Structure 1
Amino acid sequence: MHTSHRRPGRAWIITPGLRPERFTTAQNCGAGVAVVDIEDSVARADKQTARTTAEEFFAQPDPPCALGIRINSPLTLDGAKDLVALATYTARPDMIVVPKVESPRDIELVAGVLDGDGYTPDIWALIESPRAFDNLPAITAAPRLGGVIFGSADYAATVRCGTGWDALHFARSALINAATTANIPVIDAPTWELDNPDALRRDAERAKELGFYGKGCVHPRHTGVINDVFTPSEAEIAHARSIVAAAEASGDGVTSVDGQMVGSPFFTRARKLVADVDGTP
């Protein structure tokens, strides 16, 4: 059984831990979650500087979005140092993004070090290796896991496949299936084309259709498109409310709404959307 977690944002932006001049922009670009990175964007020689600099990311007294940090794998020396540093931060992250997760023990280790009186950060796992996909049921069942994020670049590099939609379709579908079984949300990987809003919108729409809750990005201008795609439209919300009303009127029996036959699976989906919009459990 998963513990209760804050509802994540739809657009997640990640910004390098060594670039403090970008911190304010990342936090105010419209993303629901802003993550400072001290893993892949930081060379090993600069890791300690990044740990120190990243603390500034959480110093803002009233941030406009949830704030997270991507640490190094807790199974590495740098990851161990990250956890020690985080335990001493004056301002603490809302979320810890754990890379290279291949076992539920990775999640337990982070929670064991950081959980304390009045502080239990949401812990999110980056799923980015074939071994992780082999162990998905165990990973997604970890009690302290808040959600999972698809790490497309690392996965594709390991498999030696392309980063296009077709090449990664199986991995995305497998991740959605396992996370849904565990009742946790999934965030898609960023679209790496910085100056192609059409490609970004197409990828976001595909991800939403597959069942992703939101999508990561590496540039502030991407957040608007992601929010637009993943935030339910007024028409979608109204249609879902119509289906919920029809379900109640029919006693959850098969009925029709706007000329479409609807039954139990449609009722379940509509109720989930309405509950999400209304902020009810």
Structure 2
Amino acid sequence: MSIFAQGPALLFCPGDRMDRFEKALDRADVAILDLEDAVAPERKVAARGQVAAAAATAPQRTIVRINAADTPWFHDDVTAMRLAGVRTLMLPKASGPEQLCALQDFEVVALCETAAGVLAAPRLAAATNCTALMWGGEDLVADIGGRSSRGTDGRYRPMIEQARTSVLFAAAAEGKASIDAVHIDISDLDGLETESKEAADMGFRAKACIHPQHVAYIRKAFRPTDEQIACARTLLAHPEASSGGVFRIGNQMIDGPLLTHARTLIERTTPWISN
């Protein structure tokens, strides 16, 4: 079963704070144990063993973000996770499919958060062990020498939105899942709600977050309303739905794309919502 069948809310947990791991699993659908940005260099070795042991206890609900391929911790991170039987890794600052070759026995979430990574997104998604693409705005802005990922209105700047959709399209073209980036303003719950709803409507399979309070907002945004579910089931149950042609329900013309929307809504939400 895909790790994304657990639900859409992925919560980061610092790799040197394993006292928060059980809470993260309890609050979110999937916990991302972070050995990269969340852990200071002098604490990475100690955190590695703790993360490997913790991740092995709940492999279907845990992703481990290891350190980037060009760092001195990468190979030891991979070895420790392999010995622990960890299934899913997140590779930060992914820039080419050759980096995934060293991770062939893992499912890999490739994190496209540099200019090279965004441009390489189609090739990363095509890798056989790539299970999903995720993108990151703040690292991307830092990489290209920018100052801010958002305008004064709180919305992503056009070039950041382009990166977001580029990663989404690259994943979809290869039949892989896509994960929307975190909303870094912890207190901006209105912005989080809007951004999460937008991500769900666009086709992202999940959204990552950095605070437990964000989980409920993400789940609500990704969960279709009862009306939407009922409408999708009505369309799919219509006698003409399997004919391959166009038909009418009330004042609405129903054709192939609308039926596909309905199937996607049901298929993607059935594992984690009550029927």
**By the TM > 0.5 criterion, same fold?**
yes
Partner in structure 2 of residue 74 of structure 1: 69
Partner in structure 2 of residue 118 of structure 1: none
The answer to whether the 8 Å contact 1:242/1:257 transfers is no
The answer to whether the 8 Å contact 2:178/2:206 transfers is yes
Q: Which amino acid aligns with 2:156?
A: D
Q: Which amino acid aligns with 1:74?
A: A
The Cα shift of 1:225 comes to 0.7
Q: Which amino acid aligns with 1:129?
A: T
Helix, strand or coil: the match of 2:103? helix
TM-aligned CA distance change 1:125 to 1:59, over 3 Å = closer
**The 10-residue stretch of structure 1 (20-29 or 249-258) with the greater mean CA deviation from structure 2:** 249-258
Partner in structure 2 of residue 100 of structure 1: 93
| Structure 1: gaps spanning 5 or more residues | 116-120
Partner in structure 1 of residue 251 of structure 2: 259
Distance 1:250 1:97 in 2: 40
TM-aligned CA distance change 1:273 to 1:172, over 3 Å = same
The Cα shift of 1:275 comes to 2.5
Distance 1:161 1:242 in 2: 49
Q: Which amino acid aligns with 1:162?
A: S
Partner in structure 2 of residue 23 of structure 1: 21
Distance 1:93 1:188 in 2: 23
The Cα shift of 1:7 comes to 3.6
Helix, strand or coil: the match of 1:110? coil
Q: For this pair of structures, how many residues does the alignment match?
A: 263
Partner in structure 2 of residue 197 of structure 1: 189
The answer to whether the 8 Å contact 1:20/1:56 transfers is no
Helix, strand or coil: the match of 1:14? strand
Q: Which amino acid aligns with 1:69?
A: V
RMSD across aligned positions (CA): 2.1
**TM-score normalized by the length of structure 1:** 0.86
The answer to whether the 8 Å contact 2:4/2:206 transfers is no
- Which aligned pairs between 1:197-276 and structure 2 lie closer than 5 A? 197-246=189-238, 248-249=240-241, 251-276=243-268
1:45 aligns to 2:42 (yes or no): yes
**TM-score normalized by the length of structure 2:** 0.88
The answer to whether the 8 Å contact 1:74/1:110 transfers is no
TM-aligned CA distance change 1:244 to 1:166, over 3 Å = same
Helix, strand or coil: the match of 1:28? helix
TM-aligned CA distance change 1:104 to 1:257, over 3 Å = farther
The Cα shift of 1:241 comes to 1.5
What percentage of aligned pairs have identical amino acids?
Answer: 29
Distance 1:83 1:51 in 2: 10
Out of 111, 128, 138, the position equivalent to 1:143 is 128
| Structure 2: gaps spanning 5 or more residues | none
Q: Over residues 200-224 of structure 1, what are the superposed CA-to-partner deviations in whole Å (9 max), with x where a residue is unaligned?
A: 1011112222221111000111101
Q: Over residues 179-214 of structure 1, what are the superposed CA-to-partner deviations in whole Å (9 max), with x where a residue is unaligned?
A: 111111111111111122111101111222222111
The answer to whether the 8 Å contact 2:4/2:205 transfers is no
1:187 aligns to 2:187 (yes or no): no
Distance 2:66 2:42 in 1: 15
Helix, strand or coil: the match of 2:171? helix
Q: Which amino acid aligns with 2:132?
A: G
1:125 aligns to 2:110 (yes or no): yes
